[in-house]
Amino acid sequence: MIRVVIADDHQLVREGVKKVLSVDPDIVLVGEAADLASTLAVLESTETDLLLLDLTLSPIHELDALRTVVARFPGVRVLVLSSHSEERFGIAVLKLGAAGYIPKSLTVDVVLKAIHRVHAGGSYLSDKLADMLVHEVSSSQPRHAHERLTDRELQVLRLLALGHPVKQVAAKLDISISSVNTYRSRIFTKLLIRSNAELIRYAIHHGLVS
């Protein structure tokens, strides 16, 4: 049996996934969670083979929940289930240790195939994501300027692009105001921009904020 946990902040999504899993006699749902804290609690108390993880569980940056789960539960295979496009997070989640990326638009048979493949030790990559990964490996340069940003710089960029003032960004990330200003300066340099207005336009154009 494949023991699966669902982590998604929308109850309707969880119910839909449960219906999908119920058609496969080799899959058993052993837990579900609506936020990161409860996800960690379920994984701590329940023997789990595979976690279906929605990126929206992360309060600040979409990749934080995945990063936390992989670090604390390296033996649990993670399939990211997301409404975001593969272009936005597909390669990033693979780099962080996820075994696959499933857009929520996929059909039932594909989802079940992905679960079985990952449980068997493989990875699930759509043809589109596989092509992106090949391009990533073969290319010596990042495709976009923001791919040169560190995780922290990307967090600061997104919060600034959402209109949060520097003081609020510092509070949300639990860092000093001077640190935020330093990160902002680095972001401006790497992205070749000169103002918050340009930063916002860049973030919107590249789908870094929604």
pLDDT tens-place string over residues 39-69: 999 999 999 999 999 987 876 677 888 989 9
Burial of 114 from C-beta contacts in 10 A (0-12 / 13-18 / 19+): buried
How does the average pLDDT of the chain come out, rounded? 87
The two tokens of residue 142 are: 């990042």
> Residue 81: its pLDDT value, please?
85
Map out the domains of the chain with their CATH numbers. 2-138 (3.40.50.2300), 145-205 (1.10.10.10)
Phi, psi for 7 (deg, rounded to 5) = -125, 105
The confidence band for 134, taking pLDDT boundaries of 50, 70 and 90, is: low
What pLDDT digit, counting tens, does each position of 61-74 carry? 778 889 899 999 99
Q: How confident is the model at residue 143 (pLDDT cuts 50, 70, 90)?
A: low
Q: Give per-residue pLDDT as tens, 102-118.
A: 887 778 888 899 999 99
* C-alpha dist (Å) from residue 116 to 2, 49, 132, 144, 195: 8, 11, 23, 34, 48
Tell me the residue type at 120: A
Per-residue pLDDT of 9-25, as tens digits, reads 889 989 998 999 999 99
pTM check: above 0.85: no
